[in-house]
Structure 1
Amino acid sequence: MVALLFAVHPVHVENIVYVVGQADSLACLLGCLALLSVTSSLPFAVVLAVLSAFAKESGFTFLPLIIVVLLLTNHPRKYTHSIVVALATLSLVVFRWLLVGGNPVNFAYADVPYLYLPDAQVRGSSFMHLHSVYAKLLLLPWHQSWDYSYDAIPAVRSLDDHRLLGPLAIYALLTALLAVFLRDRCRTGLLGLGILVITFVPASNVLIVVGTVIGERLLYIPSVGAMLLLVRAGSRFRPWGFLILVALSIIYSYLFVGRLRLWQTRAQLYEADALAWGRSCKTLHQYGTVLHSKGDLEGARQTYEASLGIFDDNAVTDYSIAQIHLQRGELWQAHTRMVKISNGHGIGFDDTSRFAFLVDAGYTLAALGDCTAGMPLLREGLGIVRHVPHALNALAICLVWQDGRFDEGVQTLMEAIQYDTNHPVLWSNAAALSVWQRDLDGAVYSISLAESCFSKRLEPGGHHENSTHYSAFLHNLNLIRDWQDGKLRTEDPRLEYFFTRIT
């Protein structure tokens, strides 16, 4: 029954789908084998525990558990062996510290908000509350989440907060169980309690700070002890205890299969978690990206705004909203977002998103007519990643209009076409540049390709996806046709900006 409950426990889904979670599985396997080998071969058990520690840091806890198992035996030298294992544990910890180092890790505020709470009492109370959340996930994980970032679980800011009753009840229960098991000399209960408590210490934020508010994969090893305790309790109250365990295994199986199905697609996972954990800024942001990729711009914008309503200093979320404004042609609104990002802390940006911000901020300024401010940003962003057609197109227009560097502008536009040969605006702009160069053949060739590309983008009902772009194309097309017919017109051809979202 212990193996069944462990196998179908819903919190283990994250260990299955995450590569890093599979390290916990390996550490657990090696550690459990170590505990089973203590009475037959202590050196072999220690070797297995050391291998478990190298598989995952949580595996270090199996060495203290070996001491627990030794103390539960009747071996005449159990105390001597326990001291040897304790020294081996200390040596391994020192070796790992020398190997890896002890430099502090700077966790993001959104990932570990409790760490940045100025009041020690509030910080400690909030970490205590997490213990009851972990206990709920171990016993009955009805609502799970891929991420518990700010502010999925609000901080406990007062001792009057009723949520503190949860951890206090858990501590009292664990103390009572320890007393009962010691009184009854219950080795199974003591082993289960030891596995649960000792292996949970690395995730408890007591000795070290964990880089997440709640990590479901961190419960993989402690769940072994929890299931041992559940089965031990069920065996004491037969037949009802057995029936409860069977019902619990059915519930676990149902939740396990349901959670595993959610992980099949990002859309299902983020939508379900956003509904269950509507105060998690990162979960809302990720659900917004799902709506964004589906083309639901308004739904995505509202979800992004909800995320910012929880944690406003998230540059990636602001940038996503700016992209929506650019897709809608709302340049000033996009520019406002870009300014906010520039004045913020750039939270969530890495090298990839930094280049995207640079080219899109430069594009926005250029499209607003400020090529002087836009060109440096475009050049810097394109210096990081070159194949961004809409940014190259914007740079080409600025080179022609602002600096009068016609040849460089033509070269830049041709480079954009190399990266996207099917965008009608690029070919329409190429035709416009050919008109200025008095190259009729080049103009005819480019405008015909633009016409072909536009026809492929014709929406149901006969409307084009962007009437502004199509209007500029028609202007250039009529200009070139009149030129072919010998009719000289005084109007200039039109150069047009376009935007393509960087994903």
Structure 2
Amino acid sequence: MALRGRQAALAAGLVAALVAAPSVRNGFVQDDHWVVEQRSFLQHPGSLAALLTEPYWPRGFGGVLWRPAVLASYALDYRISASPHWFHAVNVLWAAAAAAALALLATMIAGPTVGLVVGLLFAVHPVHVEATASVVGRAELVAAVGYAIALISALRSEQRPTWLLGVALGTALAIGAKEHAATLPAAVLLVFLARDLGRADWRRTLGAALPAAACTMVVVVLYFVARRAVAGGAFTPGGLAPGLRGLDLVDRAWAMLAISLEWWRLLLFPVRLSADYNPAQLVVTTGLTARHGFAAVVWIAAGLAAWRLRGSVPGVAVGLVWLVLTILPVSNVIVPTEVIVAERTLYLPSWGAMLALAAPGASLRWPPRAKAWLLVLVLVAGAGRSVARVPVWRDDQSFFAAQERDAPRSFRTLWLEGQEAFRLGQQARGERLLEAAAAAAPEVAGPRDDLARAYLAAGLWAAAVQQLRTSIAVDSGRAPPWGLLPRALLGAGDTTGAGDAALLAARRFPRDETVVDGAVAVLVAARRCQEARTLRPAVRCPG
């Protein structure tokens, strides 16, 4: 019986679900706490409009990303259960849907056999674990599902224009989950060319693709217009990756050229995985190094292979173009992002890499049994590595242990070790580690915030003031240092400065209850009751 696209999709979806299933035992870890667990509006949304006008990150964290599709899915989860195991179970379903949809897309442009191989390789890829094993990884999964739906609908819309509705809905789902779906208009052109390569004139193919591409473009533009209204910036990144501050486009591109070797390693040889790719574990340099030269050779070789095989094995060229297209938004070249490298961001790009591998593999003149056994070995190895990696996101302790093991020199590891040292009462060691973290990533304010909290607890008011002012100078868009500064100034004896800082903090973050309540307490202590009542009319003042 001939293999069909739906069968390939079903097989890929089932394998992806089996590989991701162990993550159901995981809890809320790291970013899950701030994005999902501690967001009361997700548990009790006042209205759909209120849900759709909330930024992805809490406003106290800057709140410039807008991902309404993902937040809506979390709110729906809370309607059923607040257990993290339920959230992870839903992620398993999203992972299965993504693998199935992308496998179906592969069959439409490369045939059922190649589509099945691509789908299976994608389903077991170890680089996906960060996306499937953490709750916040759902953004990658939902975006991939929407991306695939939009492209499948685009290919079908040529015969039935009503499929343009699927293009619009898929694009809305994808861009509402993650911003890299802005590449969909170009991806539509790519899949049309991939399907018709060598069979039709490229001008006719592009003409057939234009209605669907235009449909995706309209949705993407509307998203960024709405994002500007909600989050205050259409293209503002959620943060700036440590090591990239002060670099222009050319310098960022040069620095990321060397770092791109990590992408290739993770996509093709994902044996060593890491919870962290930050300075000083990963070196960001604009100088000329051996890694720059090696990376240039790799990219040139890939480009030459794609060009030479474009006629005989077009899947190589299509896969590599997909890889470049989907990795560009997270490459820090055109728009800087808040991470240098993150395994979860390779989720969608990995489909292109798997297509570039599967296409020449299918054309090898090997006995079918030999190719089948090779595929089985690769799938077993990938699935085994993926399943073994899932417990890293079991809880914060497991994640911290993995971070110490995977990236002992990273500023984030030093930061977490410093927090743990203070928790254990090891004041001197905690101070040393947090100072080392701040030195490794001076553009990250978090370690200074925690050091200031430790100084506040010890009554070292002047030292706390210094750290908080430095933190605000580094990143003035975050609420925590603004909320702590008035208290530190008050402890240092600067009553006037404390009151002024309290008013300024409350005005900057009027929706942050912690900041406003802290400001009121400081104003009352500074005997500025009338000003305190402008923030909380019912406040009582002594005397």
Q: TM class by shorter-chain length?
A: 0.5 to 0.7
Please tell me whether residue 3 in structure 1 is matched to residue 119 in structure 2. yes
Please tell me whether residue 13 in structure 1 is matched to residue 122 in structure 2. no
Cα deviation per residue 1:388-418 (whole Å; 9 max; x = unaligned)?
A: 999998888776xxx9x9xx9xxxxxx99xx
Shift of 1:157: 2.7
CA 242–335 in structure 1, closer or farther in 2 if over 3 Å, else same: farther
Q: State the partner residue of 1:130.
A: 259
**Bigger shift: residues 81-90 or 218-227:** 81-90
Whether the aligned pair in 2 keeps the contact of 1:126 and 1:155 (CA below 8 Å) is yes
Cα deviation per residue 1:410-433 (whole Å; 9 max; x = unaligned)?
A: xxxxx99xxxxxxxxxxxxxxxx9
Shift of 1:178: 1.7
What TM-score do the two structures reach when normalised by structure 1?
Answer: 0.64
CA distance in 2, matches of 1:150, 1:228: 32
Q: How does 1:468-479 map to 2 (within 5 A)?
A: none
CA 13–292 in structure 1, closer or farther in 2 if over 3 Å, else same: farther
Tell me the SS of whatever aligns to 2:244.
helix
Tell me the SS of whatever aligns to 1:116.
coil
Which 5+ residue runs of structure 1 have no aligned equivalent?
409-414, 417-432, 438-503
CA 391–114 in structure 1, closer or farther in 2 if over 3 Å, else same: closer
Shift of 1:25: 2.5
Whether the aligned pair in 2 keeps the contact of 1:267 and 1:287 (CA below 8 Å) is no
Shift of 1:276: 2.4
Which 5+ residue runs of structure 2 have no aligned equivalent?
1-116, 176-180, 533-538
Q: How does 1:254-293 map to 2 (within 5 A)?
A: 254-286=384-416, 288-289=418-419, 292=422
CA distance in 1, matches of 2:314, 2:195: 11
Shift of 1:348: 4.3
Please tell me whether residue 225 in structure 1 is matched to residue 349 in structure 2. no
Q: How does 1:46-125 map to 2 (within 5 A)?
A: 48-54=166-172, 55-56=174-175, 57=181, 58-72=183-197, 74=199, 79-86=203-210, 89=213, 92-93=216-217, 96-97=220-221, 100-101=224-225, 105=235, 107=237, 110-111=240-241, 113-114=243-244, 116-117=246-247, 120=250, 122-125=251-254
Q: State the partner residue of 2:442.
A: 312
Q: State the partner residue of 2:309.
A: 181
CA distance in 1, matches of 2:504, 2:224: 36
Which residue of 290, 296, 309 corresponds with 1:168?
296
CA 392–293 in structure 1, closer or farther in 2 if over 3 Å, else same: farther
Please tell me whether residue 253 in structure 1 is matched to residue 383 in structure 2. yes
Tell me the SS of whatever aligns to 2:415.
helix
Which residue of 304, 322, 327 corresponds with 1:195?
322
Percent identity over the alignment is 20
CA distance in 2, matches of 1:118, 1:188: 34
Cα deviation per residue 1:236-287 (whole Å; 9 max; x = unaligned)?
A: 2566665554343333223322432212323322442244234543454355
Shift of 1:218: 3.0
CA 28–326 in structure 1, closer or farther in 2 if over 3 Å, else same: same
Q: State the partner residue of 1:326.
A: 456
Q: How many residues align?
A: 398
Larger Rg: 1
Whether the aligned pair in 1 keeps the contact of 2:464 and 2:488 (CA below 8 Å) is no
CA distance in 2, matches of 1:83, 1:351: 47
Shift of 1:307: 0.8
Shift of 1:82: 2.0
CA 313–127 in structure 1, closer or farther in 2 if over 3 Å, else same: closer
**Bigger shift: residues 25-34 or 4-13:** 25-34
CA distance in 2, matches of 1:311, 1:283: 12
Which residue of 291, 296, 303 corresponds with 2:433?
303
CA distance in 2, matches of 1:104, 1:191: 30
User: What is the letter of the counterpart of residue 68 of structure 1?
Assistant: L
User: What is the letter of the counterpart of residue 383 of structure 2?
Assistant: S
CA 90–382 in structure 1, closer or farther in 2 if over 3 Å, else same: closer
CA distance in 1, matches of 2:382, 2:287: 34
Shift of 1:310: 0.7
CA distance in 2, matches of 1:113, 1:260: 29
Q: How does 1:342-357 map to 2 (within 5 A)?
A: 342=469, 345-348=472-475, 350=477, 352-357=479-484
CA distance in 1, matches of 2:125, 2:357: 13
Whether the aligned pair in 2 keeps the contact of 1:132 and 1:167 (CA below 8 Å) is yes
CA 233–350 in structure 1, closer or farther in 2 if over 3 Å, else same: same
What TM-score do the two structures reach when normalised by structure 2?
Answer: 0.59
Whether the aligned pair in 1 keeps the contact of 2:483 and 2:514 (CA below 8 Å) is no
Q: State the partner residue of 1:493.
A: none
CA distance in 1, matches of 2:516, 2:211: 59
Tell me the SS of whatever aligns to 2:474.
coil
CA 118–224 in structure 1, closer or farther in 2 if over 3 Å, else same: closer
Whether the aligned pair in 1 keeps the contact of 2:241 and 2:337 (CA below 8 Å) is no
CA 31–379 in structure 1, closer or farther in 2 if over 3 Å, else same: closer
Shift of 1:357: 1.5
Cα deviation per residue 1:81-135 (whole Å; 9 max; x = unaligned)?
A: 4224246535743674476259674558751643622593x43321222332211
Shift of 1:162: 0.7
Please tell me whether residue 24 in structure 1 is matched to residue 143 in structure 2. yes
CA 109–162 in structure 1, closer or farther in 2 if over 3 Å, else same: farther
Q: CA RMSD in A?
A: 4.4
CA distance in 2, matches of 1:379, 1:78: 63
Whether the aligned pair in 1 keeps the contact of 2:392 and 2:399 (CA below 8 Å) is yes
Whether the aligned pair in 1 keeps the contact of 2:241 and 2:340 (CA below 8 Å) is yes
CA distance in 1, matches of 2:259, 2:319: 21
CA distance in 2, matches of 1:255, 1:375: 55
Whether the aligned pair in 1 keeps the contact of 2:254 and 2:286 (CA below 8 Å) is yes
Q: State the partner residue of 1:341.
A: 468
